Structure 1
Amino acid sequence: MKLWKRAAAAIKDQKSLLAVGFSRRASYRNTDLEAAIIKATSHDDSSVDYSNAQRVYKWIKASPLNLKTLVHALSSRVNHTRSWIVALKSLMLLHGVISCKVPSVVGEIRRLPFDLSDFSDGHSSLSRTWGFNIFVRAYFAFLNSYSSFTADQISRTRANLRSDKVDSVKQQLDRIQKLQSLLDLILQIRPIADNMKRALILEAMDCIVLESINIYGRICSGIIKILPAAGKTDAARSLKIVNKATSQGEDLAMYFEFCKGFGVSNARDTPQFVTIPMAEVEAMEKMVKSVEKDEQKQEEEVVEKAIVLLEKPRLQTIITDKWQTFEDDEYCFSEKAIQEYHQDPLPLVVSNQPVCYTMPDLITF
């Protein structure tokens, strides 16, 4: 059965090569490059064709115009395949292109030219391929974000060179946090099924391990550079980044142990990363505490002012044995008023209902 599958896969690759040979010529197409891409992303899961992968890299470095051919050929191949082998090799090939450090190429790729976020292999049952499907999806999620991040950094560098500017502390902190997010994504790429110990998976994990070292090294270097320049306004955010970097260092060490046990060559020796000076971290912690105390003091002062404004004068009770006489009272109890009442007494109305008085309208004229 395995021999039959390999033969069928080889026939598919040959058909793709023949299709390239007889395809219409166009200004954006390079048939030699397309043929190298097909061979580098073949259906063979026993090995990676590094010679054709190197040809692809040379074509891309030779002229940025070949990027159109790469995008067209890879997107067409991935969109028409249902093989986890072809999908994974395409990701590895594009990962190498992004890492080639050619600004004119990397700056134009940005998002990947295909979508593998919901990839599912269609050549075997799900019970056999679910682990490979998850592996491909996780690799795509990382590489898609990594490509966009790299393109943004190249664009920012070009803008700074034109204006003779340097990234602010906030921009540097933003970059470090994005790198930390990328590291979180890359640590999700791992074989989780029992049937995944394949040569191609091991090759892919070798690339992933090297990239994880690179990203974490950039995180630590960025932190060491930014700590002395961070002020009180950035102290809390900087300390949060430092704490996350420490936690990620532990996660990365565990990841290396897993890869080492799985048989990944590049994970045999755990690398020695640049350590963050504790003196700088302690100074940052003191700065954060100082800022928190200042904020707490300001809040207390605001509360005290609010209490003072809300206080009302207390009412006092005055006890006296002297009566205060008003004009109405004098009239009511005068002899003249009593005589008038006896001559024309008012009717006495007794009711259990409360008496309501209508207040005069003093506003409407």
Structure 2
Amino acid sequence: MRVWKLATGVIKDKNSIWAARFSRKGPWRNPDLETVIIKATSHDENRIDCKNVQRVFKWLRTSPLYLKPLVWALSIRMQKTKSWVVALKGLMLIHGVFCIGLPVVQKMGRLPFDLSNFNDGYLKDSKAYGYNAFVRSYFAYLDKRSVFVSSEVKNLKKNNKEGEVEETLMEELEKLQKLQEMIDMLLQIKPRNVNMNVGLILEAMDCIIVEIFDVYSKFCNKIAKVLMRIYDVGAKMESCAMLKILQRAVTQGDELACYIEFCRDIGVLNASQCPKIERISDEDIQDLEKIIKGALNDNKSLEGVNENQDKAIVVRDSLHRKELSQNGLTTVITHQWEVFFDDIMVNDVKGNGIINGDKGSIVITTNPFEESYSIVPYCHVNINQSLPDLISL
């Protein structure tokens, strides 16, 4: 049965190649490119033809005009096929086309074919279920990814025409939610049973692992930027939305760790090289809760000051007192510190103040997988300035 299936696949591929070679060349058809696409998406389930896949990429890099015949040929092949092997290879091919980063590809929008209801026509239903689910979930993610990238390009083009316009907090929060949805969709792409751990599936999972790293990195970088804006503004509505995102991100980090461990167990090569994933800190969640409750001061840098210190001597305006000194100022004994910083205060990504002195330094990282962060020292500039005598003895 297996030999017959392989022979049938080879015959179908040869017939498709012959039909493509004798087709008429035009704006939407290129016989040579169609032949390469058919070879790159053959019925051979043991491997993917990397040589012809690279040839497709080379055609596209040569000129963006080849995108139309590429999309046409691939769409026709995806719509006709009933083989999960051909469908999966087609998805891997279009995924690779996206990763090239050509502007014409980024404007594509929705995928030019639909595999949301794909069903393999050569396997029994009990065995085909896992392959069908894999193809459908992979297609769903790539379709959403293409729409997301296309919308980002349109917004960037619009902002360039209108001048540099900063996104609102709510717009950035919406992007975070979309990235989070994309991560959820990526985690759904996996083999459902042990029999699916074949070479082609594992190669597809290698692509998925790389994509997860890319999307999760963008997600974490975006979180750091949005948190900085929220700490500066202190808006309660945006803080509530951000709190939900962070709470979901904590659970999502656990799911991602389990997913990578699962990929290691089934033999996905890229999963074995995964570094440790940086999780969302509890401090970020607690700070957002304080903003929502209205208990967080505007100046978060004073949180590190110990209130149980000794008494301090400060100078305050005493015009409201009956007894005035000659200069209108008097010395007041207080149990609360009045803190004056000689050094520059720098806020970190959480909004916590860091004083740049002998031990001062600020640590900011945008890599969610980086375990050891590089420290950028702050060079303090001393300004020689004579200070007036504020306390008359």
User: The TM-score by the shorter chain falls in which range?
Assistant: 0.7 to 0.9
Instruction: Report the counterpart of residue 267 of structure 1 in structure 2.
Output: 271
Letter in 2 for 1:272: K
Q: How does 1:225-240 map to 2 (within 5 A)?
A: 225-230=225-230, 231-232=234-235, 233-240=237-244
Whether 2:5 is the aligned partner of 1:29: answer no
Helix, strand or coil for the counterpart of 1:121?
Answer: coil
Q: Quick one: distance in 2 between partners of 1:216 and 1:144?
A: 18
Q: Is the 8 A contact 1:220 1:274 kept in 2?
A: no
Instruction: Report the counterpart of residue 142 of structure 1 in structure 2.
Output: 141
Q: Is the 8 A contact 2:27 2:69 kept in 1?
A: no
Instruction: Report the counterpart of residue 214 of structure 2 in structure 1.
Output: 214
Helix, strand or coil for the counterpart of 1:99?
Answer: helix
CA shift in 2, pair 1:262/1:192, >3 Å? same
Between the two proteins, the alignment pairs up a number of residues equal to 291
Q: How does 1:73-152 map to 2 (within 5 A)?
A: 73-107=73-107, 109-152=108-151
Whether 2:171 is the aligned partner of 1:171: answer yes
Which whole-Å deviations, capped at 9, do the CAs of 1:81-138 have from their partners, x for residues lacking one? Answer: 100000000011011111211122221x211111111111111221222211111111
Superposition CA RMSD, Å: 1.7
Q: Quick one: distance in 1 between partners of 2:199 and 2:219?
A: 31
Q: How big is the shift at 1:270?
A: 3.5
Which whole-Å deviations, capped at 9, do the CAs of 1:165-199 have from their partners, x for residues lacking one? Answer: 12222111111110000111110111112321110
Q: Quick one: distance in 2 between partners of 1:275 and 1:195?
A: 33
Instruction: Report the counterpart of residue 325 of structure 1 in structure 2.
Output: none
Q: Which aligned segments of 4 or more residues in structure 1 are displaced greater than 6 angstroms?
A: none
Q: How does 1:1-365 map to 2 (within 5 A)?
A: 1-107=1-107, 109-163=108-162, 164-230=164-230, 231-232=234-235, 233-276=237-280, 279-290=283-294
Q: Is the 8 A contact 2:21 2:32 kept in 1?
A: no
Q: Is the 8 A contact 2:239 2:288 kept in 1?
A: yes
Q: Quick one: distance in 1 between partners of 2:179 and 2:103?
A: 19
Aligned-pair identity in percent equals: 45
Q: Is the 8 A contact 1:75 1:114 kept in 2?
A: yes
Q: Is the 8 A contact 1:217 1:274 kept in 2?
A: no
Which whole-Å deviations, capped at 9, do the CAs of 1:52-100 have from their partners, x for residues lacking one? Answer: 1111112222222211111110110011110000000001101111121
CA shift in 2, pair 1:85/1:37, >3 Å? same
Q: Quick one: distance in 2 between partners of 1:205 and 1:291?
A: 46
Which whole-Å deviations, capped at 9, do the CAs of 1:201-226 have from their partners, x for residues lacking one? Answer: 00001111111111111111100111
Q: Is the 8 A contact 2:253 2:279 kept in 1?
A: no
Q: Is the 8 A contact 1:84 1:121 kept in 2?
A: yes
TM-score with structure 2 setting the length:
0.71
Q: Is the 8 A contact 2:250 2:280 kept in 1?
A: no
CA shift in 2, pair 1:23/1:291, >3 Å? farther
CA shift in 2, pair 1:291/1:175, >3 Å? farther
Q: How big is the shift at 1:28?
A: 2.3
Helix, strand or coil for the counterpart of 1:110?
Answer: coil
Q: Quick one: distance in 2 between partners of 1:247 and 1:285?
A: 18
Q: Quick one: distance in 2 between partners of 1:69 and 1:289?
A: 57
Q: Identify the structure with the greater strand proportion.
A: 2
TM-score with structure 1 setting the length:
0.76
Q: How big is the shift at 1:271?
A: 2.3
Q: Is the 8 A contact 1:253 1:270 kept in 2?
A: no
Q: Is the 8 A contact 2:9 2:43 kept in 1?
A: yes
Mind listing any 5+ residue stretches in structure 1 that lack a counterpart?
293-365
Helix, strand or coil for the counterpart of 1:24?
Answer: coil
Instruction: Report the counterpart of residue 380 of structure 2 in structure 1.
Output: none
Which whole-Å deviations, capped at 9, do the CAs of 1:26-48 have from their partners, x for residues lacking one? Answer: 12222222111111100001111
Letter in 1 for 2:145: Y
Q: Quick one: distance in 1 between partners of 2:197 and 2:276?
A: 27
Q: Is the 8 A contact 1:40 1:48 kept in 2?
A: yes
Helix, strand or coil for the counterpart of 2:194?
Answer: coil
* Greater C-alpha Rg: 1
